[in-house]
């Protein structure tokens, strides 16, 4: 295994394109993205799947591990008819394409399938373990959809409005609506190409970012209201954190994905470089989101605790109480100041 590379080599691009070109139209192709999929995972996977259909492939399925639930904002994505529960994934696909997955652990029960088959990994996490046969991992790409669109270009697939909508949702999600640090001129050039197909960024943004049930808004109020500021954490740069339980979700009759955007108001706190949201997912099990404004490499913290991600946005699965989990994070912060 080679060291983590930040860009994709010419040979890797060629190998991935050849892997697709070598298939017959009726060959089975399985697409997989990570557990609890977000906009980039679903958007890059479905956008690429639509591209494969345009190339004439008739057997294309998409799936993800864990609970088979697509967050409501993504339920209007084009290409959703490709999506099947994990048990209906092609077991002997000629080609497996894996989207936005930094490590096998994010593939749950689908990990053996992905590792034993002929797999191409498309991803942008610096912590990617390069578990595929071919690894298109570009840690400087703002989203996996940047990698996916690049491979579609190399395969000669013209962008249309359906493909563009998927890729735009992915790009807008992972760049925080074109606000985050990897939002380069190339990102805006890609966005321009996508918008030129006729999609409506305003409609998409309202649907994806600016719509939520009343209960989700009230739940957010409660979770934000219990946030705590620890000024001395991270060498005095500060840490702000909060948590949400399954009983919070039950009380407001909300699904877990509504908690995923709460990291954004939390990370806006001026007095803290590091933001943490601890979300209960099962008995003594929590999904932890970490963000940094730059002083701390939170991906190193996440990796040390069994997870992964990017320098400024990372996560892991925690066990115990929220206080115990936050203490473990706090203990690692000083060691990972950048």
Measured from the CB of residue 92, what is the shortest distance to ligand 5GP in angstroms?
A: 27
- Specify burial of residue 61 (Cβ count, 10 A radius: 0-12, 13-18, 19+): middle
Report the residue number, 309 or 322, with the smaller CB distance to ligand 5GP.
309
Report the residue number, 89 or 314, with the smaller CB distance to ligand 5GP.
314
- Specify burial of residue 59 (Cβ count, 10 A radius: 0-12, 13-18, 19+): middle
Q: Binding segment for ligand 5GP among 66-74, 233-241, 244-252, 303-311 (CB under 6 A)?
A: 303-311
CB 44 within 8 A of CB 34: no
Report the residue number, 106 or 237, with the smaller CB distance to ligand 5GP.
106
The item of ligand 5GP, Mn ion, none sharing an interface with residue 310, based on CB under 5 to 8 Å by kind, is: ligand 5GP
CA 198 to chain centre: 25
Report the residue number, 165 or 174, with the smaller CB distance to Mn ion.
174
CB 218 within 8 A of CB 248: no
The item of Mn ion, ligand 5GP, none sharing an interface with residue 315, based on CB under 5 to 8 Å by kind, is: ligand 5GP
Q: Which 3 state secondary structure label does DSSP give 145?
A: helix
171-210 residues in contact with ligand 5GP (CB under 6 A) are: none
The item of Mn ion, ligand 5GP, none sharing an interface with residue 101, based on CB under 5 to 8 Å by kind, is: none
Report the residue number, 19 or 167, with the smaller CB distance to ligand 5GP.
167
* 310, HSE (Cβ side, Cα atoms, 13 Å): 24
CB 323 within 8 A of CB 284: no
Q: Is 316 near ligand 5GP (CB under 6 A)?
A: yes
Interface pattern 149-188 for Mn ion (x via CB under 5 A) = -------------------------x--------------
CB 263 within 8 A of CB 291: yes
* 125, HSE (Cβ side, Cα atoms, 13 Å): 29
Q: Is 289 near ligand 5GP (CB under 6 A)?
A: yes
207-266 residues in contact with ligand 5GP (CB under 6 A) are: 263
Measured from the CB of residue 25, what is the shortest distance to ligand 5GP in angstroms?
A: 33
Q: What's the Cα-to-Cα distance from 101 to each of 34, 42, 76, 97, 163, rounded to whole Å?
A: 5, 11, 23, 10, 20
Dist. CA 1–CA 15, nearest whole Å: 17
Q: Phi-psi bin for 111: left (phi > 0), alpha (psi -120 to 50), beta?
A: alpha
Dist. CA 296–CA 169, nearest whole Å: 28
Measured from the CB of residue 331, what is the shortest distance to Mn ion in angstroms?
A: 28
Dist. CA 86–CA 67, nearest whole Å: 9
Q: Is 103 near ligand 5GP (CB under 6 A)?
A: yes
Please select the residue that binds ligand 5GP; options are 183, 309, 322, 336, rule is CB under 6 A.
Answer: 309
Tokens, residue 215: 């209960």
Measured from the CB of residue 300, what is the shortest distance to Mn ion in angstroms?
A: 18
Residues 6+ apart with CB under 8 A from 21: 155
Interface pattern 114-143 for ligand 5GP (x via CB under 6 A) = -----------x------------------
Dist. CA 256–CA 258, nearest whole Å: 5
The item of ligand 5GP, Mn ion, none sharing an interface with residue 144, based on CB under 5 to 8 Å by kind, is: Mn ion
Measured from the CB of residue 291, what is the shortest distance to ligand 5GP in angstroms?
A: 7
Report the residue number, 102 or 166, with the smaller CB distance to ligand 5GP.
102
Contact residues toward ligand 5GP (CB under 6 A) are 102-103, 106, 125, 263, 289, 307-310, 313-317
């Amino acid at each position: 295994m080679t060291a983590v590379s930040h860009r994709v080599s010419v040979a890797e691009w060629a190998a991935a394109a050849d892997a697709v070109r070598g298939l017959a139209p009726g060959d089975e192709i399985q697409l997989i993205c990570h557990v609890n999929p977000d906009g980039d995972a679903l958007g890059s996977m479905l956008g690429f799947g639509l591209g494969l259909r345009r190339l004439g492939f008739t057997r294309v399925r998409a799936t993800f591990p864990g609970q088979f639930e697509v967050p409501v904002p993504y339920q209007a994505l084009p290409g959703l008819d490709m999506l099947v529960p994990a048990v209906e994934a092609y077991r002997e696909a000629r080609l497996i394409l894996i989207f936005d997955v930094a490590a096998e652990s994010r593939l749950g029960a689908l990990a053996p399938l992905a590792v034993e088959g002929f797999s191409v990994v498309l991803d942008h996490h610096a912590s990617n373990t390069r578990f595929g046969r071919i690894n298109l991992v570009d840690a400087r790409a703002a989203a996996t959809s940047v990698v996916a669109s690049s491979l579609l270009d190399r395969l000669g697939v013209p962008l249309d409005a359906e493909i563009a909508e998927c890729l735009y949702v992915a790009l807008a999600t992972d760049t925080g609506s074109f606000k985050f640090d990897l939002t380069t001129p190339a990102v805006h050039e890609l966005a321009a190409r996508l918008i030129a197909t006729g999609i409506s960024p305003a409609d998409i943004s309202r649907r994806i970012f600016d719509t939520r049930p009343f209960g989700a808004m009230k739940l957010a109020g409660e979770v934000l209201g219990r946030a705590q500021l620890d000024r001395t954490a991270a060498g005095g740069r500060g840490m702000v954190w909060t948590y949400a339980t399954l009983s919070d979700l039950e009380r407001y009759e909300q699904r877990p994905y509504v908690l995923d955007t709460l990291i954004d108001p939390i990370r806006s706190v001026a007095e803290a470089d590091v933001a943490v949201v601890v979300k209960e997912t099962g008995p003594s099990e929590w999904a932890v989101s970490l963000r940094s404004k730059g002083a701390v490499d939170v991906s190193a913290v996440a990796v040390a605790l069994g997870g992964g991600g990017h320098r400024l946005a990372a996560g892991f699965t925690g066990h115990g109480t929220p206080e115990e989990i936050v203490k473990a994070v706090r203990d690692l912060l000083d060691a990972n100041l950048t």
